[in-house]
A and B are shown apart, each in its own frame.
Chain A
Amino acid sequence: MRAIFKIALGIIAAIGGFLDIGDLVFTTQAGALFRYDLLWAVVLGVVGIAVYAEMSGRVAAVSGRPVFDVIRMRLGFGMGLVALVASTFVNLLTLAAELGGIAIVLELLFDAPYSMFVVTGAVALVGIVALLPFGGIERFFGYGGLLLLVVVATVYHQDPNWGDVAHGFVPTLDSSALYLYFVVGVFAAALMPYEVHFYSSGAIEEGWSEQNLKENRLNAIVGYGIGGILSVALVIASGYLFHPLGVEPNDLGTVALPMQGAFGETGLLLALGGMLFCVGGAAIDSSFAASYNLAQFLGWEWGRYQGPRRAPRFTASWLVFLLLGIAIAQSGINPVEITEYSVVFSVVALPLTYLPVLLIAGDRSFMADYANGRVATTLGWLYFGVIVVLAAAAIPLLLVTNAGGG
């Protein structure tokens, strides 16, 4: 009974921690521009992250190896180094975007200037990391993120034409570059590389073994599955409200407006609160991911569970990444823009993130009986194909559409 309870708590945290600033920005914009037409791309992304999170969690639990632990062994040193540089760059951009997101939400909540809150937010994150053990950090942000369930309530309240909504789940290929750009964006926002870096290293932090495989599967399928409903709801809520008006949301505050429309100030506060936990949690995840990758690639001792004294280089690098993130967030670039760039560049880094996971998860010499079965192998390679195509298309689309600006 206690075991079931513990697993349930983990799943709930996975639901609340599913969204980050990339999801918030891209789903809201996708809804405003294309109403429900991109819902299928959201589902495609959610299934993708569930497949790869399950795989990377299973590899970590069985072989004790997170993603960057095996990257050199499977890609070779040179390609591994390229993957390290690329993913560090993307993780830093993501971190900066999340820090900027924290600051914007705080700005909206407390009506004080943005620049003050970037540093305040980062200091608060360090405080939370100092106070809570690893599992506690995840749950703190995961449970807080559940405030965003108000988006689901909003959709029910709006009561859109459900036939139109259902239609959005059928893939349609509009040939306009802007549409394709948002297909890439919505998909990629769900599959940000830091998520599997963090998830698989987190499995080691929590001391997972074969006994946690069921927990891993439920986290990925149920946790991320229900988390994905939040993404779907964001598209619908935004499509319902903004699409008929022709509004194009360019700041993070717009994300919360449908909830205000439905439930007044309570709705707005719940939405902003939920967003704060989501971007805060993602700031932790992406900054940790950057340090995990560096330490694992170079063979350093790592982990929050070790404490700074036993893992000094890991901890110091985390603080440096945090400072760099602050610097980028403070540079005056609109955090929504940083978000878009971080998501689109992450697509380019995705093949290098997911190929080693796929190779090691199918390798019986590492995984024995826990290697990928037929379903995971098929889905894994299918998604890898999709990722490679999108990676090739991402940058051209970014340039052609002027980063979604049309």
Chain B
Amino acid sequence: MKGEGEIYVVHRLLDEQICDSEGRRVGRVDDVELRGDPPRVTALLVGEGLYPRRLPRRLARLVRRISGPERWGGNALRIPWEEVDELTSTVKLRKKAEDLGLGMGDDPERWMVRRLPWN
């Protein structure tokens, strides 16, 4: 990312909107990966599979029933920090969503609304 430096991870990064290089909204920072000493952010973790770990135990169990268990590459994705272009009011990525495996934006669901007249 341009201008590496210190940020308040929880205040500024966690739960933030992610946009791909074309400006499409493609998910949120559902968790972050920290490594090293002192710890540095090494990756953004994205996907509904990560929701349970953000919740208290009972609620987590309920949500896991909907989201399924964590499957890396499926409902849980790792976006290396190098792919982050910029932090503005969103987390902007360097690549298009499909190049990072981010569910191709909303594309898989397009069939549902393809024929609506206000496209």
CB distance from B71 to the nearest CB of A (A): 18
The interface residues of chain A lying within 8 Å CB-to-CB of B14 are 73
Q: Complex Cα distance A78/B53, Å? A: 10
B114 at the interface (CB under 8 A from A): yes
The reply to whether B27 and A299 form a contact with Cβ atoms under 8 Å apart is: yes
A323 at the interface (CB under 8 A from B): no
CB distance from B7 to the nearest CB of A (A): 10
Known: A77-B51, A77-B55. A301 touches B89 (CB 8 A): no
The reply to whether A307 and B89 form a contact with Cβ atoms under 8 Å apart is: no
Per-position 1/0 for A30-72, Cβ under 8 A of B? 0000000000000000000000000000000001110001001
Residue ID in chain B nearest A298 by CB atoms:
B28
The reply to whether A316 and B16 form a contact with Cβ atoms under 8 Å apart is: no
B54 at the interface (CB under 8 A from A): yes
The interface residues of chain B lying within 8 Å CB-to-CB of A63 are 89
The reply to whether B25 and A312 form a contact with Cβ atoms under 8 Å apart is: no
The interface residues of chain A lying within 8 Å CB-to-CB of B46 are 299
Known: A77-B15, A77-B55, A130-B117. A64 touches B89 (CB 8 A): yes
Q: Complex Cα distance A315/B105, Å? A: 14
The interface residues of chain A lying within 8 Å CB-to-CB of B42 are none
Known: A63-B89, A72-B15, A78-B59. A301 touches B24 (CB 8 A): yes
The reply to whether A307 and B119 form a contact with Cβ atoms under 8 Å apart is: yes
The interface residues of chain A lying within 8 Å CB-to-CB of B90 are 64
CB distance from A94 to the nearest CB of B (A): 23
Residue ID in chain A nearest B54 by CB atoms:
A77
The reply to whether A302 and B25 form a contact with Cβ atoms under 8 Å apart is: yes
A300 at the interface (CB under 8 A from B): yes
Q: Complex Cα distance A314/B89, Å? A: 21
CB distance from A267 to the nearest CB of B (A): 36
Residue ID in chain B nearest A315 by CB atoms:
B113
The reply to whether B56 and A299 form a contact with Cβ atoms under 8 Å apart is: no
Q: Complex Cα distance A77/B31, Å? A: 10
The reply to whether A129 and B118 form a contact with Cβ atoms under 8 Å apart is: yes
CB distance from A21 to the nearest CB of B (A): 26
Q: Complex Cα distance A244/B31, Å? A: 62
A217 at the interface (CB under 8 A from B): no
The reply to whether A65 and B89 form a contact with Cβ atoms under 8 Å apart is: yes
B75 at the interface (CB under 8 A from A): no
B100 at the interface (CB under 8 A from A): no
Known: A72-B15, A308-B116. A299 touches B25 (CB 8 A): yes
B2 at the interface (CB under 8 A from A): no
How many B residues, CB 8 Å from partner?
A: 35
Q: Complex Cα distance A65/B90, Å? A: 9
B45 at the interface (CB under 8 A from A): no
Known: A129-B118, A130-B118, A301-B105. A309 touches B59 (CB 8 A): no
A376 at the interface (CB under 8 A from B): no
Per-position 1/0 for B81-92, Cβ under 8 A of A? 000000001100
The interface residues of chain B lying within 8 Å CB-to-CB of A73 are 11, 14-16
The reply to whether B106 and A313 form a contact with Cβ atoms under 8 Å apart is: yes
CB distance from B77 to the nearest CB of A (A): 12
Residue ID in chain A nearest B56 by CB atoms:
A78
A311 at the interface (CB under 8 A from B): yes
- CB contacts under 8 Å to A, within B39-73, are 46, 48, 51, 54-56, 59, 63
A355 at the interface (CB under 8 A from B): no
The reply to whether B27 and A316 form a contact with Cβ atoms under 8 Å apart is: no
A269 at the interface (CB under 8 A from B): no
A241 at the interface (CB under 8 A from B): no
The interface residues of chain B lying within 8 Å CB-to-CB of A165 are none
B109 at the interface (CB under 8 A from A): yes
The reply to whether A308 and B119 form a contact with Cβ atoms under 8 Å apart is: yes
Of A77, A81, A300, A307, the residue contacting B25 (CB under 8 A) is A300
Q: Complex Cα distance A311/B114, Å? A: 10
B110 at the interface (CB under 8 A from A): yes
Q: Complex Cα distance A69/B55, Å? A: 19
Interface residues in chain B, defined as those with a beta carbon under 8 Å from any beta carbon in chain A: 11-12, 14-18, 24-28, 30, 46, 48, 51, 54-56, 59, 63, 89-90, 105-107, 109-110, 112-114, 116-119
Interface residues in chain A, defined as those with a beta carbon under 8 Å from any beta carbon in chain B: 63-65, 69, 72-73, 77-78, 80-81, 129-131, 295-296, 298-302, 307-316, 319, 365-366
Please list the 3 inter-chain residue pairs (A to B) with the smallest Cβ-Cβ separation, ordered nearest first: A299-B28, A308-B113, A72-B15
**Chain A to chain B contacts (Cβ below 8 Å), 22 pairs:** A64-B89, A72-B15, A72-B28, A73-B14, A77-B55, A78-B56, A78-B59, A130-B116, A130-B118, A299-B17, A299-B25, A300-B25, A300-B27, A302-B25, A307-B119, A308-B114, A309-B110, A309-B114, A312-B110, A315-B112, A315-B113, A315-B116
12 additional contacts, CB 8 Å, given A73-B15, A81-B55, A298-B48? A64-B89, A64-B90, A72-B15, A77-B54, A78-B55, A81-B51, A295-B25, A296-B17, A299-B18, A299-B46, A301-B26, A315-B113
